[in-house]
Structure 1
């Protein structure tokens, strides 16, 4: 019973994050990057970088999921910051979205940029 409640709570929270991301995707990304590297390598690198507690402290989180239209999405807790990573002709395109343009968004972008 307890496991079912935990699973239900996780699904509700995931639904909230998805609607936040879908709403953000209706607008333009905060920044778009390109890379000659393969999509899986870029996505995994971003995830790893965003999990660095030395840089992000208690905000260190990075979740890697399938993207909405192929590719991958790397997101943080509550989807405050996320990146859609997709292979396109000649490389990979990364679209970075943020709910607020703050110092943490700048650090997330800097970590992302090291993966290109």
Structure 2
């Protein structure tokens, strides 16, 4: 069993409670690690009819939020800001960006959920 399948199985329990398929859990887990790969996977899932457009967009938004919190800010944004600003200021800037993303992503998800049939 592969790494993405293990993550997908763990996410599947939560995803099914919201009415999404296991393909969404797979897409979220892939996007959390590699956003580029998730876009390619999403295209294949859509092409084969395994996932709806709404489900695909919502899964990509959830995956984006997880990617930003888990991978992007600790590995890229924080070191980038530290190279320009003192550590305390860099930490504050990254924290503000995380809070903004945590607020905006659910708003985007609500828009997608209600505007796409």
Q: Which has the larger radius of gyration?
A: 2
Alignment TM-score > 0.5, same fold = no
**TM bucket, shorter chain:** under 0.3
Q: Which TM-score applies when normalising by structure 1? A: 0.28
Q: Which TM-score applies when normalising by structure 2? A: 0.28
Larger relative strand fraction: 1
Which structure has more relative contact order (CA 8 Å, sep 6+)? It is: 1
